[in-house]
């Protein structure tokens, strides 16, 4: 089997399994998977910036929040329909990433980390500043009546799952195509050796900005989707915790792999869920599990697999 | 069958009885409506075990467990034992919604209660509505009565902040002063206080002359204190969070032992904190809203002693096991009362199982008077079935000799405000 | 209150913030500068210091000053040993790989937070100051202890500077920071230096916490803000420059208080945050860092 065939077989296989899971799995796990898939889209976006292009941003919650609030404010305050608001949310995420990127990409490394962190903090505080509209940290409910997309009621379990799946599948396939495309290879080149890439004629600034904007589009899509699918828009989603989360998912699952973010998201979710079932000190279990994972698979699970033989894993 | 089991010699009667009982337990309540199921009633409890709400969550769990014991000792609900499944929501809305899924889809709970922090409530309510799970919150937020939640979300166990704040205004204006400076956190919780108090104090003949909104995560407050105008007669403060002791101490340092305005606060600032702590001496002579008086008052109701013994606190509101462990007394009655409301609702609705959840909500909506008793140790209440919010008494206490002494009880009308919604017109 | 005294009060408050921030940030700067790793658990070492101070002052009988002095000595040592242990058991095995260290220190963060929650509890508890003294200025009263904190932080920072600039240990640390491989070639046990630096960084955070805990309270979530702030300070000051860290701590500590004199506090925080970002955008090496190619 050629590499391309193996890659497509694997990824299409995963998608098929996820589609089947809706029918096969009990309602509880199906519901969890819907959440995990949306968060995985967020993490995949983060991976585009971090895992492939080497941009460690600590401010991605700003883009997730832009999508969430872009959608939420238009639906709740301006009465927009779900479809249009979703598009607006996606655009908001991308636009925010563009604005931040134009400024932040003048820095690199740790400075870039802090600049993105600061922009995200400013965004969080701005949401609180406009509490009269956003209800700040308490948040607002998105009316069930407004959560109807193309005639489908997103508050129904099956529809919700399929919508999350559709988003995830689209995001996964686009990312797969991206990383296997010439642009994807240039992104990796930027990460590996920026100076050499520049010498070869590539403009690092434009490449990194494009990667960041793509990353913001993914994050905005995930944010808008999360609000529409689960009916809540709140400032906690724009807090620093939600900037750390995708980083954690990506590092656990394998930075620079396409399926890594999904694996990491699922793993963290079930780690917390199962730990809560065993003990009231579940944070301890999660912390120890993270340490164990990182000691034995420092490149993440898929990264470790790739190193140990599955070299074709994108 | 009379086969000899190791260690047991069951008679035919007990074997048949056992078979019948297990058969009844397996029977779906909807199909066998007349069979009295011995399967336990499962209630989910959204517990703030970690995160910013952990100090409250600890006590919420205790009172819920204490109420559970009382209910089960009294025969349970409809003759069935009751179980509470506690899940940590990390005081986080995302996790809150996830544990709601767990309660509904994995554990098939009959109802869910227990959340205190507003953002967890608002984040979970949509899912509760979709899953058709009765969601009784113990939050004191105005979110339920505002009409923004859904027909499955109710707050029958604790009054809301709008009602509390409104009820304070007449007494403050009459007793403490008419020119008020408000100090509150600059987010939704603080804004709710401001939005309720400004019109209420005006109606009582006073006015708010200065509003000082403190940004979140502030750890030092001294630089805000000079903004208090010198003609202030009353400082109204409702700072919350781990930094609140600093706020109180710095307020004391700022004024020293000299002249100072009257000071009115909400005990939210000092839940789980000993009033007699060093650095809090200047609180002497100041006043606090208390949801439920921490120190045992001479005119306490006949059930107060039983309640305190059951939840394990002494006459000072501290844990019986450790006098330095102060409880969150002004709020922790809500899970207790909510459990009894669930009992009353299930009994009124003839609740058999999850298919009857809608009947349970309708039964609670039909409740009106909730008289003082062991089921409502905080005080008599009236439930508004349309707004899904309960209304009741508030208490004002003064710090005297390092203890809180009740000086005023509001009247029920003080806290009533016009309905802002009618959930009974909404569909399930 | 008139504007002048108001500003003075804000400045003094800012100095207290800056003092504690400087200590915490210098601890992080050492770890970041020498080991080149992002320690997400740095704030938790701060929290541990405060929580340990509560335990020490509660268990040691006598006047508050005795317990406090004991805490000032014991808690940094305790937290430093926890840090050294974490370094030896985990970070060394990861070979200080940047990404893996982030995940590992996040794990450490969860462990330390849960330990504090389980052993200390969710409440915010006060610790008594070693002395209560009200310094009366013409316009307002001020806590004498806060002034003592500023002085103590200055003394400790001077001590750290002496250690780095004038002792052999400091020389070894600086050598390891400049070039790890060459240092190893010269016979320096880099692993032990790293463990020591990690411990020293944690110890400094802990001492800052012990100093601040009579003013604030000890709470198991209190490590979150010091982590963020000290990171910002270290980067703004410029990696590799302790002087930059100090200057940045002063700037950020003071400005936080002063800006909110002029603007609504939440808006002030937004502006201050954006300001920090823009400083870095236009001067990525920070105030005093060396520009890397």
Nearest to A294 among C104, C274, C282 (CB): C104
In a domain, C152, yes or no: yes
Kindly state whether residue A313 falls inside one of the protein's structural domains. no
Task: Sort out which chain B residues have CB atoms less than 8 A from C117's CB and list them.
Answer: 50, 54
In the three-class reduction of DSSP (H, G, I as helix; E, B as strand; rest coil), residue B207 is classed as strand
Chains A and B: how many Cβ contacts under 8 Å? 94
> Tokens in use for B400?
């005297």
Chain mean pLDDT for chain B: 89
In a domain, residue A314? The reply is: no
Per CB-CB distance under 8 Å, the chain B contacts of C6 are 226
CB A156 within 8 A of CB A230: no
Whether residues B410 and B267 fall in one domain: yes
Residue A17 exposed, middle or buried by CB count within 10 Å (0-12, 13-18, 19+): exposed
Structural domain includes residue C168: yes
Residue B45 included in any domain: yes
Scan for tokens 């109807």, then name that residue.
A148
Only one residue has tokens 């915010």, namely C124
Chain B CB contacts of C123 under 8 Å are 55, 272-273
CA B131 to chain centre: 23
Pairwise CA distance, residues B80 & B71, whole Å: 10
Instruction: List the single best residue of A158, A276, A285 to mutate versus B (max B Cβ within 10 A).
Output: A276
Domain region containing A237 = 3-307
- Tokens found for residue B301: 């109701």
| A and C: number of Cβ contacts within 8 A | 125
Residue B400, SS3? Answer: strand
Domain total in chain B? 2
- C221-230 pLDDT tens trace: 999 889 988 9
Q: How far apart are CA C176 and CA C183, in angstroms?
A: 5
Partners of residue B231 in chain C, C-beta under 8 Å: none
Residue C34 exposed, middle or buried by CB count within 10 Å (0-12, 13-18, 19+): buried
Contact C270 A290 (CB under 8 A): no
Q: What is the mean pLDDT of residues B124-150?
A: 95
Beta strand B369-370 with B179-185 is unpaired
Asked whether residue B259 falls in the same domain as residue B370, the answer is: no
Q: Does any domain span residue B423?
A: no
In this structure, the answer to whether residues B140 and B208 fall within a common structural domain is: no
Question: Helices (H), strands (E): how many in chain A?
Answer: 14, 4
- Check which CATH number belongs to the domain holding A131 and give it: 1.10.3470
CB-based contact C122 B245, cutoff 8 Å: no
Distance CA C154, CA C20 (A): 10
Query: Are the C-beta atoms of A123 and A66 separated by less than 8 Å?
Result: yes
CA pair distance B250, B258, nearest whole angstrom: 14
With contacts defined as CB-CB under 8 Å, which chain B residues touch C5? Answer: 226
Closest alpha carbon to B64 in B78, B43, B93: B43
Tell me which residue of C129, C156, C132, C131 sits closest to C54, measured CA to CA.
Answer: C129
For chain B, the residues whose C-beta falls within 8 A of a C-beta of chain A are 49-50, 87-88, 92-95, 97-98, 101-102, 105-106, 118-119, 122-123, 125-127, 129-130, 141, 143, 148-150, 186-189, 191, 215-216
The pLDDT tens digits for C229-261 are 898 888 888 876 788 899 999 988 888 777 766
Cα A83 → chain centroid: 20
Are residues A137 and B94, on separate chains, in Cβ contact within 8 Å? no
CA distance A175 to A214: 10
Q: What is the pLDDT of residue B31?
A: 35
Closest to C208 in 3D by CA, of C68, C72, C29: C72
- Whole-angstrom CA distances from A60 to A43, A44, A244 are 10, 12, 8
For tokens 């490394």, the residue is A109
Task: Check C277 against A288: CB less than 8 A apart.
Answer: no
pTM of the model: 0.89
C99 assigned to some structural domain:
yes
**Chains touching chain A at 3 or more Cβ pairs under 8 angstroms?**
B, C
Answer whether A57's CB lies under 8 Å from A47's CB.
no
Question: What's the pLDDT score for residue C290?
Answer: 63
Q: Measuring CA to CA, which residue among B113, B124, B120 is closest to residue B82?
A: B113
**Tokens standing for residue A70:** 């872009």
Q: Do B246 and C215 touch (CB under 8 A)?
A: yes
Task: Return d(Cα C158, Cα C246) in angstroms, integer.
Answer: 11
For residue B52, give the nearest of B145, B189, B249, B213 by alpha carbon. Answer: B189
Q: How far is CA B170 from CA A95, B380, B414, C292, in A?
A: 51, 21, 8, 66
C-alpha B254/C-alpha B225 separation (Å) is: 7
Is B287 strand, coil or helix? Answer: strand
Residues A174-231 pLDDT 10s: 999 999 899 998 988 888 888 888 898 888 999 999 999 999 999 999 999 999 999 9
Name every chain A residue with its beta carbon within 8 A of the beta carbon of B189: 138
Cα first-last separation, chain C: 51
In this structure, are B64 and B125 located in the same domain?
yes
Does position A155 have pLDDT exceeding 60, yes or no? yes
Residue A144 lies in a domain: yes
By Cβ distance, the residue of A104, A114, A290 closest to C231 is A114
**For chain B, what percent of residues have pLDDT higher than 70?**
91
In a domain, B303, yes or no: no
Percent of chain C with pLDDT over 70: 97
Which segment of A245-254, B135-144, B176-185, B255-264 scores lowest on mean pLDDT? B255-264
Q: Cβ(B267)–Cβ(B295) under 8 Å?
A: no
CA–CA dist A234, A242 (Å, integer): 12
At residue B343, the pLDDT reads 96
Per-residue confidence at B19, pLDDT binned at 50, 70, 90? very low
B407 φ, ψ to 5°?
-120, -15
Of A110, A111, A284, the CB nearest to C111: A284
pLDDT band at B278 (very low <50, low <70, confident <90, very high): confident
Element containing residue B405 per DSSP (H, E): strand B403-409
Q: Where are the alpha helices (DSSP H) in chain A?
A: 3-24, 27-47, 61-78, 82-104, 109-129, 131-134, 157-180, 182-192, 194-199, 204-230, 241-253, 260-278, 282-296, 301-307
- Nearest Cα residue to B164 out of B134, B130, B133, B141: B141
Do residue B357 and residue B402 come from a single domain?
Answer: no
In a domain, B125, yes or no: yes
Q: Could you tell me if residue B310 is inside a domain?
A: no
- Pairing state of beta strands A140-141 and A232-233? antiparallel
pLDDT at position B37: 60
Mark whether B279 and B175 lie in a shared domain. Answer: yes
Average pLDDT over residues A71-82: 93
Question: From the list C99, C270, C278, which residue is nearest A255 (CB)?
Answer: C99
Q: Is the pLDDT of residue B149 over 80?
A: yes
| Cα angle for residues A40, A43, A46 (degrees, 5° grid) | 155
Give the CA distances from residue A144 to residues A81, A153, B282, B356, C286, in Å, rounded to whole numbers and listed in that order: 12, 8, 50, 23, 49
For chain B, the chains sharing at least 3 beta-carbon pairs closer than 8 angstroms are A, C
Are B215 and B340 in the same domain?
no
User: A75 to chain C nearest CA, in Å?
Assistant: 26
For C27-86, how does the pLDDT look when each residue is reduced to its tens digit (9 = 90+)? 999 998 888 888 989 999 999 999 999 999 999 988 888 999 999 999 999 999 999 999
- Is the same domain home to B175 and B147? no
Average pLDDT over residues A18-26: 92
B377: CATH: 3.40.50.2300
CB contact under 8 A, A251 and C239: no
Residue A298 touches chain C, beta carbons under 8 Å: yes
Residue C73 located in a structural domain:
yes
| C219 token code pair | 């709470």
Split at pLDDT 50, 70, 90, the class of B33 is very low
Rounded to a whole number of angstroms, the distance from the CA of C107 to the nearest CA of chain A is 4
Pairing of strands B395-400, B287-290: antiparallel
Nearest residue to A120 (alpha-carbon basis) of A271, A247, A304: A247
C270 interaction partners in chain A (CB closer than 8 Å): 122, 125-126, 129
Which of A35, A141, A226, A268 is the mutation pick for testing B, counting most B CBs within 10 A? A141
Residue B10: is its pLDDT beyond 50?
A: no
Q: Would you call A73 helix, strand, or coil by DSSP?
A: helix
* Cβ-defined contact of B50 to C124 (cutoff 8 Å): no
Report the residue of chain A nearest B213, measured CA to CA: A129
Count how many domains chain A has: 1
Q: Strand B111-113: give its sheet, edge to edge.
A: B82-88, B41-47, B111-113, B135-136, B153-154
In a domain, B262, yes or no: yes
pLDDT in tens, B192-224: 999 999 999 999 999 999 999 988 778 788 888
pLDDT band, very low/low/confident/very high, at C1 (cuts 50, 70, 90): low
The structural domain count of chain C equals 1
When CB atoms are compared, the residue of B93, B98, B188 closest to A135 is B188
Interface of chain B against chain C, CB under 8 Å? 50-52, 54-55, 57-58, 186, 213-220, 222-224, 226, 242-246, 249, 253-254, 256, 272-273, 277-279
User: Does residue A9 fall inside a structural domain?
Assistant: yes
Query: By 3-state DSSP, what share of chain B in percent is helix, strand and coil, each rounded to 5?
Result: 40, 20, 40
**Phi, psi (5° rounding) for residue B179?**
-105, 110
Domain of B168 in residue numbering reads as: 162-290+394-415
How many angstroms away from the CA of A123 is the closest CA of chain C? Answer: 8
- Mean pLDDT, chain C, whole residue set: 88
Q: Does one domain contain both B285 and B168?
A: yes
ipTM of the complex: 0.91
φ, ψ for residue A187 (rounded to 5)? Answer: -60, -45
Q: Please give the backbone phi and psi of residue C109, each rounded to the nearest 5 degrees, phi first.
A: -60, -50
Residue C266 domain-assigned (yes or no) = no
Domain-located, residue C241: no
Sign of CA dihedral B270, B273, B279, B284: positive
User: What phi and psi, each to the nearest 5 degrees, are found at residue B117?
Assistant: -75, 135
Q: Is the dihedral of CA B300, B305, B309, B310 positive or negative?
A: negative
Q: Domain range for residue C32? A: 19-222
- Joined together, the tokens standing for residue C119 give 């052993």
Residues of C in contact with A129 (CB under 8 A): 266-267, 270
Residues B373-396: b if buried by 16+ CB within 10 A, e if exposed: ebbbbbbebbbbbbbbbbbbbbbb
């Amino acid at each position: 089997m050629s590499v391309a065939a193996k890659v497509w077989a694997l990824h299409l296989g995963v998608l098929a399994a996820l589609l089947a899971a809706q029918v096969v799995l009990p309602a509880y796990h199906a519901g969890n998977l819907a959440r995990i898939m949306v968060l995985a889209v967020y993490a995949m976006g983060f991976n585009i910036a971090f895992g492939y292009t080497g941009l460690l941003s600590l401010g991605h919650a700003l883009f997730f929040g832009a999508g969430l609030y872009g959608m939420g404010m238009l639906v709740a305050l301006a009465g927009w329909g779900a479809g249009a608001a979703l598009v607006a949310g996606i655009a908001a995420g991308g636009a925010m990433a563009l604005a931040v990127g134009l400024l932040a990409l003048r820095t690199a490394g740790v400075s870039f980390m802090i600049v993105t962190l600061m922009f995200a903090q400013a965004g969080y505080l701005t949401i609180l500043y406009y509490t009269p509209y956003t209800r700040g940290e308490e948040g607002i409910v998105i009316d069930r009546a407004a959560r109807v997309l193309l005639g489908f009621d997103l508050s129904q379990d099956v529809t919700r799952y399929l919508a999350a799946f559709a988003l995830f599948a689209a995001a996964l396939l686009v990312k797969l195509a991206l990383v296997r495309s010439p642009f994807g290879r240039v992104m990796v080149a930027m990460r590996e050796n920026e100076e050499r890439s520049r010498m070869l004629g590539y403009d690092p600034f434009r490449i990194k900005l494009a990667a960041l904007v793509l990353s913001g589009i993914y994050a905005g899509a995930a944010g808008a989707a999360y609000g529409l699918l689960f009916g809540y828009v709140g400032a906690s989603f724009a807090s620093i915790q939600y900037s750390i989360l995708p980083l954690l998912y990506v590092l656990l699952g394998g930075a620079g792999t396409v399926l890594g973010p999904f694996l990491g998201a699922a793993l963290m979710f079930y780690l917390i869920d199962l730990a809560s079932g065993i003990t009231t000190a579940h944070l301890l279990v999660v912390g120890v599990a993270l340490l164990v994972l990182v000691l034995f698979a420092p490149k993440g699970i898929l990264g470790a697999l790739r190193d140990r033989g599955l070299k074709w894993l994108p | 069958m009379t086969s000899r089991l190791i260690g047991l010699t069951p008679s035919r009667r007990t074997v048949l009885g056992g078979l019948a009982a297990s058969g009844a337990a397996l029977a779906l309540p909807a199909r066998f409506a007349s069979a009295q199921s011995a399967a336990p009633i499962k209630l989910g409890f959204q517990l703030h075990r970690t995160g910013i709400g952990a100090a409250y969550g600890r006590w919420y769990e205790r009172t819920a467990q204490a109420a559970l014991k009382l209910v089960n000792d009294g025969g349970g609900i409809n003759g069935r034992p009751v179980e509470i499944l506690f899940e940590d929501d990390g005081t986080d809305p995302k996790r809150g919604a996830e544990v709601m899924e767990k309660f509904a889809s994995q554990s098939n709970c009959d109802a869910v209660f227990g959340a205190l922090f507003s953002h967890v409530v608002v984040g979970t309510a949509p899912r509760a509505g979709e899953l058709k799970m009765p969601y009784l919150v113990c939050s004191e937020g105005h979110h339920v009565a505002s009409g923004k939640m859904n027909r499955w979300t109710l707050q029958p166990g604790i009054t809301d902040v709008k009602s509390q704040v409104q009820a304070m205004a007449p007494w403050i204006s009459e007793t403490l002063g008419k020119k008020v400076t408000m100090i509150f956190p600059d987010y939704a919780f603080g804004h709710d206080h401001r939005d309720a108090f400004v019109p209420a104090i005006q109606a009582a003949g006073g006015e708010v002359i200065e509003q000082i909104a403190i940004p979140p995560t502030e750890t030092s407050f001294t630089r805000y204190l000079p903004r208090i105008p010198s003609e202030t007669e009353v400082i109204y403060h409702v700072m919350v969070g781990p930094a609140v002791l600093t706020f109180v101490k710095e307020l004391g340092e700022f004024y020293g032992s000299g002249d100072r305005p009257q000071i009115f606060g909400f005990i939210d600032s000092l839940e789980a904190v000993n009033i007699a702590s060093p650095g809090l001496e200047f609180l002497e002579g100041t006043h606090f809203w208390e949801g439920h008086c921490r120190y045992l008052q001479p005119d306490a109701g006949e059930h107060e002693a039983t309640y305190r013994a059951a939840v394990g606190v002494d006459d000072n509101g501290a844990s019986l096991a450790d006098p330095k462990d102060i409880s969150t007394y002004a709020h922790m009655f809500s899970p207790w009362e909510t459990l009894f409301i669930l009992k009353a609702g299930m009994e009124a609705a003839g609740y058999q199982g999850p298919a009857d959840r809608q009947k349970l909500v309708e039964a609670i909506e039909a409740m009106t008077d909730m008289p003082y008793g062991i089921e409502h140790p905080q005080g008599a209440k009236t439930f508004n079935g349309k707004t899904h919010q309960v209304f009741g008494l508030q208490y004002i206490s003064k710090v005297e000799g390092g203890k809180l002494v009740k000086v005023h009880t509001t009247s029920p009308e003080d806290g009533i405000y016009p309905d802002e919604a009618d959930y009974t017109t909404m569909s399930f | 209150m008139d504007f002048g005294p108001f500003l003075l009060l804000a400045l003094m408050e800012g100095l207290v913030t800056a003092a504690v921030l400087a200590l915490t940030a210098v601890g992080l700067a050492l770890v970041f500068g020498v080991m080149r790793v992002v320690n997400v658990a740095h704030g938790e070492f701060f929290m541990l210091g405060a929580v340990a101070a509560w335990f020490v002052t509660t268990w040691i009988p006598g006047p508050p000053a005795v317990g406090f002095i004991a805490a000032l000595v014991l808690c940094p040592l305790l937290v430093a040993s926890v840090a050294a242990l974490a370094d030896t058991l985990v970070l060394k095995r990861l070979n200080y790989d940047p990404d893996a260290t982030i995940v590992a220190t996040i794990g450490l963060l969860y462990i330390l937070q849960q330990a504090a929650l389980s052993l200390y509890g969710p409440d915010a508890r006060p610790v008594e100051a070693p002395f209560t003294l009200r310094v009366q200025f013409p316009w307002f009263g001020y806590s004498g202890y806060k002034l003592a904190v500023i002085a103590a932080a200055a003394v400790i920072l001077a001590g750290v500077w002496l250690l780095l600039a004038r002792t052999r240990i400091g020389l070894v640390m600086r050598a390891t920071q400049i070039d790890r491989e060459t240092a190893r070639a010269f016979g320096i046990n880099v692993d032990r230096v790293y463990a020591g630096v990690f411990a020293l960084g944690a110890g400094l955070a802990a001492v800052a916490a012990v100093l601040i805990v009579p003013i604030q309270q000890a709470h198991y979530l209190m490590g979150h803000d010091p982590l963020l702030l000290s990171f910002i300070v270290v980067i703004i000051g410029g990696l590799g420059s302790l002087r930059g860290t100090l200057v940045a701590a002063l700037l950020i500590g003071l400005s936080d208080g002063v800006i909110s004199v002029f603007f609504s506090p939440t808006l002030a925080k937004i502006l201050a945050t954006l300001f920090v970002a823009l400083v870095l955008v236009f001067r990525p090496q920070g105030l005093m860092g060396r520009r890397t190619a």
